[in-house]
């Protein structure tokens, strides 16, 4: 196959007018006047390496939609799964139902009965779904902690710490390319800094980054990021902060970026290019209200005294607690297209009712930042891109629009950063961060993961009202040289799989 006459963005340098030849799933040649049996005329179009999504909640999606349609439609050919310390595996057999219930709002259900316990077994089952694109796993600290300690809020014993390290090591040996932390989700939030340092040492030994959702993205964001910088310094591991933001005060964005700039460690971060986030509605509850798992939480919420205590703590706060409802207010938190304020009545009662009705399966969208704050982070040299895409009945538009918003809107349309810089962050630099030496660049010998775009039309169209609209301007997507998206739809090809 020859892609002829495109403006080629190679992934780590300026664009060039060239033909690109593909053979055996690899880039065979890049030059002018190349010949081949199958030619795609691409004059006026831009050809990029396949985009890499560094933060995706697609751990169970391929069991339902192996084409991963929303991702293909915007040009992603590789996704990093099991972020935020959350993962379907490893999991103790007796805690599978509890894990399914907790992950429901973020990852979906997956197969009715999970046939796995270890991360390796889960990755085998995932690979058997034959996804259209490639999936790269993290080893989730929260899943590991749940497997070893359960839901208990305490430090591990010496023996348990060794077991935690062993589980992380086994996950990395099974093919995980990072250690993800979710320090606002249970039971990961119960870990202290010493535990994180010990597990980060395992990541350092494998040369993979630690990828945290920090403890606090609100008023305490500087301290929370500082904790993980300390973990990186002490362990020797690289650090990649998930979905960098300031929920409480945009004036903290500058100091936050300065903190990372001057950290003196190997650090990057990813961002979804929107001023609103999406996560579990249960994240509005104090940690004590979520202890013991989904069943215990739902039972607790039935008690009037518990709901009254939550309301008092939302109003007054708890030291160290992110307190999203108190910080943002009910008018900026949306569930299935309606704000908590619009639902009327007491906000805490409304939240508790929604959690009970959904069995903790409800998501929320929370609006927190201006376009200026989002763009300040997007323009920073340490920024990479992660959609944080979460499926659901009324998802966040980042699920369908992240790549097109960053490259199409911010770079191509607005000139916030050079186009080749935006492409590099979506491709070569992301591949380098994960140690994926076979992709991320258009050069001979690399995998032929490719995206062909019309730069005049490529832009996000998904909105908060219509969040699943695909971007315009995507002419074609290839994974390992095989067309997976053409003419606005999946081709039916499924050449991807789990990268190990």
**Model pLDDT for residues 465-488, shown as the tens digit of each residue:** 999 999 999 999 999 999 999 989
118 and 226 belong to one structural domain: yes
Q: Look-up: residue for tokens 């730069």? A: 455
The structure tokens listed for 374 are 């989002």
Determine contact, residues 216/293, Cβ cutoff 8 Å: no
Q: b/e string for 257-278 if b means 16 or more Cβ within 10 A?
A: bebbeebebebbbbbbbbbbbb
Q: What backbone torsions phi and psi does residue 339 show, to the nearest 5 degrees?
A: -70, 160
> What does each C-alpha distance from 329 to 92, 245, 324 come to in angstroms?
38, 18, 8
- Whether 321 and 243 share a structural domain: no
Q: Is residue 33 domain-resident?
A: no
Q: What is the mean pLDDT of residues 308-337?
A: 92
User: Last residue of some domain: 438, 464, 495?
Assistant: 438
The model carries a pTM of 0.96
Q: Is residue 261 located within the same domain as residue 389? A: yes
Query: Is pLDDT at 203 greater than 80 in this prediction?
Result: yes
Same domain, 363 and 382: no
Mean pLDDT of the chain: 96
Find the mean pLDDT for residues 144-157. 96
Decide if 452 contacts 473 (C-beta within 8 A): no
Q: Which residues constitute the domain of residue 85?
A: 50-275+369-438
Q: Name the pairing type of β-strands 51-53 and 46-49.
A: unpaired
Task: Indicate whether 164 belongs to any domain.
Answer: yes
* Arithmetic mean of pLDDT, 404-424: 98
Q: Is the pLDDT of residue 326 over 90?
A: yes
Domain presence at residue 96: yes
DSSP assignment string, 353-376: HHHHHHTT--EEEEE---HHHHHH
Specify the pLDDT at position 355. 94
Q: Kind and range of the H or E element at 350?
A: helix 347-358
Please tell me the distance from the alpha carbon of residue 489 to that of residue 67, in angstroms, as a whole number: 10
> Could you tell me if 233 and 112 lie in one domain?
yes
Residue 29 lies in a domain: no
Q: Does 293 score more than 90 pLDDT? A: no
pLDDT recorded at residue 182: 98
Q: Please tell me whether residues 357 and 391 are part of one structural domain.
A: no
Closest Cα to residue 403, out of 390, 384, 428? 384
- Burial label for 471, CB within 10 Å (0-12, 13-18, 19+), is buried
Q: Is the pLDDT of residue 183 over 90?
A: yes
Residues 130 and 204 in one domain: yes
Residues 59 and 118 in one domain: yes
**pLDDT of 349:** 95
- Find the CATH number of the domain harbouring 102: 3.20.20.140
Residue 316 lies in a domain: yes
Please indicate, yes or no, if residue 161 is contained in any of the structural domains: yes
155 with 227, same domain? yes
Contact (CB, 8 A) for 191 and 183: yes
- For residue 1, being part of any structural domain is answered with no
Helix (H) or strand (E) holding 328: helix 324-328
pLDDT bin (cut points 50, 70, 90) of residue 295 is confident
- Provide the pLDDT confidence category of residue 341 given band limits of 50, 70 and 90: very high
Name the domain boundary from 351, 367, 383.
Answer: 367
Which of 367, 399, 430 finishes a domain? 367
| Same domain, residue pair 194 and 307 | no
């Amino acid at each position: 196959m020859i892609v002829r006459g495109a403006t080629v963005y190679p992934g780590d340098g300026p664009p060039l007018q060239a033909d690109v030849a593909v053979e055996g799933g690899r880039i065979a040649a890049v030059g002018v006047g190349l010949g081949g049996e199958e030619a795609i005329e691409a004059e006026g179009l831009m050809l990029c390496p396949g985009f890499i999504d560094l933060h995706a909640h697609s751990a169970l999606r391929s069991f339902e939609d192996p084409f991963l349609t929303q991702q293909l439609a915007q040009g992603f050919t590789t996704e990093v799964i099991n972020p935020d310390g959350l993962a379907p595996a490893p999991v103790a057999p007796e805690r599978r139902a509890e894990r399914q219930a907790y992950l429901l709002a973020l990852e979906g259900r997956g197969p009715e009965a999970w046939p796995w316990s270890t991360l390796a077994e889960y990755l085998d089952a995932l690979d058997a779904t034959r996804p259209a694109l490639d999936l790269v796993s993290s080893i989730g600290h929260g899943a590991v902690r749940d497997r070893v300690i359960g839901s208990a809020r305490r430090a591990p014993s010496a023996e348990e710490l060794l077991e935690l390290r062993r589980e992380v090591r086994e996950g990395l040996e099974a093919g995980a390319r990072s250690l993800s932390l979710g320090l606002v989700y249970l039971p990961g939030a119960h870990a202290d800094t010493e535990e994180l340092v010990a597990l980060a040492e395992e990541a350092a030994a494998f040369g993979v980054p630690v990828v945290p959702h920090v403890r606090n993205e609100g008023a305490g964001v500087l301290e929370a990021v500082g904790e993980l910088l300390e973990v990186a310094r002490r362990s020797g591991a690289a650090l990649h902060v998930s979905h960098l933001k300031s929920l409480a005060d945009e004036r903290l964005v500058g100091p936050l970026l300065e903190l990372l700039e001057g950290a003196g460690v190997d650090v990057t971060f990813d961002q979804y290019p929107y001023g609103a986030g999406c996560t579990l509605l249960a994240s509005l509850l104090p940690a004590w209200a979520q202890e013991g798992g989904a069943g215990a939480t739902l039972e607790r919420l039935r008690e009037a005294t518990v709901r009254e205590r939550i309301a008092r703590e939302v109003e007054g706060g708890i030291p160290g607690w992110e307190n999203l409802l108190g910080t943002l207010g009910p008018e900026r938190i949306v569930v299935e297209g309606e704000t908590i304020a619009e639902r009327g009545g007491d906000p805490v009662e409304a939240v508790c009712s929604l959690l009970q009705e959904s069995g903790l399966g409800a998501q929320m969208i929370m609006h927190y930042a201006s376009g200026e704050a989002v763009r300040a982070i997007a323009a920073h040299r340490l920024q990479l891109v992660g959609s944080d895409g979460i499926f659901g009945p009324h998802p966040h538009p980042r699920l369908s629009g992240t790549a097109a918003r960053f490259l199409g809107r911010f770079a191509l349309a607005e000139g916030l950063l050079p186009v080749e810089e935006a492409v590099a962050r979506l491709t070569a630099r992301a591949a380098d961060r994960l140690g994926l030496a076979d992709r991320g660049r258009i050069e001979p010998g690399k995998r032929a993961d490719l995206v062909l775009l019309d730069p005049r039309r490529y832009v996000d169209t998904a909105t908060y009202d219509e969040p699943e609209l695909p971007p315009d301007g995507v002419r074609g997507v290839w994974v390992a040289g095989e067309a997976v998206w053409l003419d606005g739809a999946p081709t039916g090809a499924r050449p991807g799989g789990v990268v190990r």
